[in-house]
Amino acid sequence: MATPLEKWVEEQARLTKPDRIHWCDGSEEEARRLMEIGEKEERIGNQNVFRKLNPETFPSSYLHRSHPTDVARTEQLTFVCHPDREMVGPNNNWMDPEEAKTKMRGLSEGCMAGRTMYVLPYVMGNPLSPYAKACVQITDISYVAVSMGIMTHMGKDVLDRIGASENFVKGFHSIGDLDPNRRFIMHFPQENLVWSIGSGYGGNALLGKKCFSLRIASWLGLKEGWLAEHMVIIGVEDPKGNVTYLVAALPSACGKTNLAMMESALPGYKIWTLGDDIAWLHIGEDGRLYALNPESGFFGVAPGTSLKTNPNMMRTLKAGTSFPTLYTNTALNVDTNEPWWEGIDGPRPENLLDWQGNPWHPDSKTLAAHPNSRFTVDIRQCPTLSPEAGNPQGVPISAIIFGGRRSDTRPLVLQGFNWQHGVFMAAMMGSETTAAAAHQVGVLRRDPMAMLPFCGYNMGDYFRHWLNMGKRLARPPEIFCINWFRKDEDGKFLWPGFGENIRVLKWIVERSHDSGSTAPRRETPAGFLPGKNEIDLSGGGISEVNLEKALAVNPEEWKAELPDVEIFLKKFGDRMPGEIWDEFNKLASSL
């Protein structure tokens, strides 16, 4: 008798009519075969799926160029399909599940004809963890099959784990005809199903990532009492050798990967990497909050990555174990057959092909690499990978950091008064938009907890869930807000960022171990600022004047922002917890 998994795959094959079905085992040998298929047989438009790069300098590395209209997440084409529209909330596009299925069936009919259907059994999270989740994705493109092999734990053992059970997360993916008018990313939380067609781009196509580990997982977390968050997980080691674990939420393309593998500018401090994008947060038996990274790889933004900004990422990319490393939509140095992007080390090469494969001229006004070009690389290649990264329970979290990209108003760092106030600070977060999603770049939008595009249900209920989690914690972590991106009157960054950010993390670590302390921090209406001289500037050449400007809380600027915050919070009507409004009113009156 066919198992539920076999039945599901058969049904999808009947609908999509692939020429063949290949069940993937996630092995390196299989990845090599898939790369070969992508190099020689499979095509997107008039290009092969993969091009092998210089093996001397970029071992096991391949370039992939996506369809030019398919370079970022498409939030306007992303839907949550649940019978109760209120549950889905104004933060998501909604469609009735039956209507959505009819639409998707129509678009999927015969969509894999002439192609191979790859069946990918995978687990998000360490397979030994009680929090890990078994999933199966089908796809019709080698690029997605290999990418999922890098980003997840994929293997035959997952099939044994699923066995005859119905308890697995289903992902249907086809690149379809790549027509943006026939592109949809649909989530069915009641069935643990994601159905995506028409895009091969990361967050739209690697369904274990944002679609499952955030949108669907956020529903599971609501039901089961945990949180799925858009967060980095790091350990900060101090000169005595003590390691403090932190999580930090930042919107896409705001420096999460740089933060996750920062090389400290302060002697004696070291950052241990556990994750650069997603954290699942559970309450442990001791009543503390524990964080686990469900992913096994990095899908990071290439432009701006260099030995200066993120040396550990460059080392990771060049470590070259046998699993492939992928570059998507970077430029290509024709003479050396190496990937290239704006901000990488060294002079600009003479002979470049841009991200679409066209010759690039130095006087051209366009960028050679797409601003959202990415690398996909195995986390095990990371030289700063924490020895605790494989801990099935996750690591205990002492502080939660929320950040955004703000040229003004928001200080370098601010500590919340308590959990409830911290949740409010995160709820009113805003950030200037980036190229990670297809929309206008550089506009301020509210992005609570950096989860606006990823919380799969009504954000009013989400804030309530956060408040409840705090009540269940024996000792809730301290909550902080950061902003590395504040500028002065001349538009220059006030804070150097990158490895210097350790100075802020050091303060956060000290504060998080010391919540009842009488240290001379400064109270403002918006939260606590570090006291004078509390941020360690030793040996950095950072001016105290700039630090003070970066730290300033200007009540007039804050007041000016309140109407926009109010409009945003009001969208959630009576699902917005009263506690959040209490905090809003307290802030408004104390400003």
**Range 154-173, binding ligand SAT (CB under 6 A):** none
Give, as one character, the DSSP assignment of residue 369: S
Nearer residue to Mn ion within complex by CB, 373 or 415: 373
Q: Find the part of the chain contacting ligand SAT (CB under 6 A) among 61-69, 115-123, 203-211, 513-521.
A: 203-211
| Cα–Cα dist 277/299, whole Å | 8
x/- map, 530-569, ligand SAT, by CB under 6 A: ----------------------------------------
Length of the chain: 591
x/- map, 249-288, ligand SAT, by CB under 6 A: ---x------------------------------------
Candidate residues 152, 192, 252, 258; the one interacting with Mn ion per rule CB under 5 A: 252
Q: Which residue is at the shortest CB distance from ligand SAT?
A: 203
Give, as one character, the DSSP assignment of residue 334: T
Judge contact between 298 and 276, C-beta under 8 A: yes
Under rule CB under 6 A, residue 511 binds ligand SAT: no
Under rule CB under 6 A, residue 209 binds ligand SAT: yes
Tell me if residue 280 falls in helix, strand or coil.
Answer: strand
Q: Find the part of the chain contacting ligand SAT (CB under 6 A) among 201-209, 353-361, 459-467, 564-572.
A: 201-209
Q: Find the part of the chain contacting Mn ion (CB under 5 A) among 62-70, 104-112, 142-150, 276-284.
A: 276-284
**How many C-beta atoms lie closer than 10 Å to residue 20's C-beta?**
10
Nearer residue to ligand SAT within complex by CB, 252 or 293: 252
| Cα–Cα dist 253/258, whole Å | 10
Our answer to whether residue 254 is catalytic in this structure is yes
- In the 3-class helix/strand/coil scheme, how is 177-227 assigned residue by residue? CCCHHHCEEEEEHHHCEEEEECCCCHHHHCCHHHHHHHHHHHHHHHHHCCE
Distance set, CA 162 to CA 117, 165, 239 (Å): 20, 6, 45
Contacting residues for 14 by C-beta, under 8 A, at least 6 apart:
none
- State in angstroms the smallest separation of the CB of 437 from ligand SAT: 6
Under rule CB under 6 A, residue 299 binds ligand SAT: yes
Give, as one character, the DSSP assignment of residue 476: P
Which of the choices ligand SAT, Mn ion, none does residue 203 contact, using the CB cut-off of 5 to 8 A by kind? ligand SAT
Nearer residue to Mn ion within complex by CB, 202 or 530: 202
| Cα–Cα dist 437/301, whole Å | 12
| Cα–Cα dist 380/321, whole Å | 9
Which of the choices ligand SAT, Mn ion, none does residue 82 contact, using the CB cut-off of 5 to 8 A by kind? none
Under rule CB under 5 A, residue 277 binds Mn ion: yes
- State in angstroms the smallest separation of the CB of 237 from Mn ion: 25
Catalytic choice (211, 254, 382, 481):
254
Tokens of 567: 């409009």
Judge contact between 558 and 414, C-beta under 8 A: no
Lookup result for tokens 């307290």: 586
Give the residues lining the site for ligand SAT (CB under 6 A): 73, 202-203, 209-210, 252, 299, 436
Return the active site residues. Answer: 254
Give the residues lining the site for Mn ion (CB under 5 A): 252, 277
